[in-house]
Amino acid sequence: MSHVVLDRITKRYGGHHALNGVTVAVQQGEMLALLGPSGCGKTTLLRCIAGLTAFDTGRLTIGGADMSGVPVRKRPIGMVFQSYALFPNLTVRGNVTFPLTVRKTPKAEIEARADEMLALVGLDHLGDRLPNQLSGGQQQRVALARALSPGPEVLLLDEPLSALDAQVRTRLRDEVRRIQHQVGITTVFVTHDQAEALAISDRVAVMNAGDIEQCAPPAEIYTAPATRFAAGFVGNRNTLELTAADGRVRAGGAFDVAAPADRVLVMFRPEDVCLTRDGSGARGTVDVTVFLGATTRVYVQVGIGGRPVTLFADLPSRAAAELTPGDAVRVRVADDHVRVFPA
Ligand code: ATP
């Protein structure tokens, strides 16, 4: 069931179109990531849902109710920002109970709810601390517990992990996913980090310049990007600009795919590149190998269309151990792993 429905939302700042008619429906209990580069409009879109920013045209409904004219505090939402924005003079528990206190919830209910929320985010032992006595990750857990304590229908997260260092960030990312699942709350999560978007969400909306270019489950975004922008923004990829002949691009035998134009951009993932000692494929020479742990990135020089081109392949490190710079190899990419766009 559609829970949050955005219908042709536009927003302009002066002459600048921040949102160009965005349409998307977030399903009940779904985690939707808004992913895109800086300035593409994802924060603006989130703020429109919250009511913090007024959009120019379009329609927003939450649970079927039109939100036009509904102020922020009357919307059934909870929000977490990049900056934790905790009340510095209130304890952890005080922060979590604050939204309930202002709603004049009965005392016993407030305390029971605080216990439940602190346990949910794994902070039951730190209820008496002040925010400045917590790590960044812990502060963000408090912010999450505070956003959830009044039992909102929809959770809005604006880059909530960006201020954290890499290890804490990954751990809290997985925690946020667990908590979202456990509570079953409809969630919109803004991030510019593609790995984070793929890891955390049920669907990813890839945004570019005020539009959603593709909205699909993470695996589909990754394996079947619908647009050149989505293909380029999500995941590592090789990108080649090639000329078609007779409506095909053949790339020296590395692949053979239909071309939508005379000049095309060809994209494929490094893990989809096959390197063999012999057999079919384009002739290449190993240039450099970079050990990355489980995988090794192998750069290969290939002659395509009469000029040398460098590609990279990600191989399991055990397989790549047999390759050394200067080795002659054959390069192949399965045709259905090659995306082609007009240049
Ligand atoms: P970031 O990841 O950098 O926050 P974003 O994708 O969230 O980027 P928005 O903050 O939504 O992008 O901004 C979209 C566009 O609207 C940008 O070009 C931005 O400069 C512009 N913009 C946002 N808020 C305002 C404002 N209050 N006044 C004028 N322009 C604004």
> Distance (Å, rounded) from C-alpha 301 to C-alpha 134?
51
Tell me the CA–centroid distance for residue 210 and ligand 1, in Å.
Answer: 10
Q: 217-224, long-range: CB within 8 Å, 24+ apart, which pairs? A: 222/198, 224/339
Query: Which is more confidently placed, 160 or 84?
Result: 160
> Distance (Å, rounded) from C-alpha 299 to C-alpha 254?
15
Q: What is the pLDDT of residue 304?
A: 83
User: Which of 17, 43, 53 for mutating ligand 1's site (highest number of atoms within 8 Å of CB)?
Assistant: 43
pTM of the model: 0.89
Mean pLDDT for 86-114 is 93
Instruction: Name all residues whose Cβ lies below 6 A of ligand 1.
Output: 13, 16, 18, 36, 38-44, 192
> Distance (Å, rounded) from C-alpha 121 to C-alpha 145?
7
Q: Which residue has the CA at smallest separation from atom 17 of ligand 1?
A: 39
pLDDT band at residue 339 using 50, 70 and 90 as cut-offs: very high
Atom of ligand 1 nearest to the CA of 40: 6
Within 13 Å of residue 73, how many CA atoms lie on the same side as its CB?
Answer: 4
Q: Encode pLDDT of 233-245 as tens digits.
A: 898 899 999 999 9
Q: What is the pLDDT of residue 85?
A: 86
Q: Encode pLDDT of 101-111 as tens digits.
A: 988 889 999 99
Report the relative pairing of strands 203-208 and 31-35 from DSSP bridges.
Answer: parallel
Q: Encode pLDDT of 12-35 as tens digits.
A: 999 999 999 999 999 999 999 999
Tell me the CA–centroid distance for residue 263 and ligand 1, in Å.
Answer: 34
Q: Which residue has the CA at smallest separation from atom 20 of ligand 1?
A: 39
Could you tell me if 283 and 252 are in contact, meaning their C-beta atoms sit under 8 angstroms apart? yes
Tell me the CA–centroid distance for residue 39 and ligand 1, in Å.
Answer: 5
Tell me the CA–centroid distance for residue 44 and ligand 1, in Å.
Answer: 6
Looking at residue 27, its amino acid is Q
In the block, tokens 């400045």 appear at 132
Tell me the CA–centroid distance for residue 196 and ligand 1, in Å.
Answer: 21
Strand order through the sheet with 263-268? 238-243, 263-268, 339-342
Mean pLDDT for 250-267 is 92
Q: Which residue has the CA at smallest separation from atom 11 of ligand 1?
A: 41
Tell me the CA–centroid distance for residue 54 and ligand 1, in Å.
Answer: 14
Q: Closest by alpha carbon to 45, among 270, 268, 248, 211?
A: 211
Residue 84 has pLDDT above 80, yes or no: no
Q: What is the pLDDT of residue 324?
A: 94
User: Which helix or strand (DSSP H or E) is residue 186 part of?
Assistant: strand 186-191
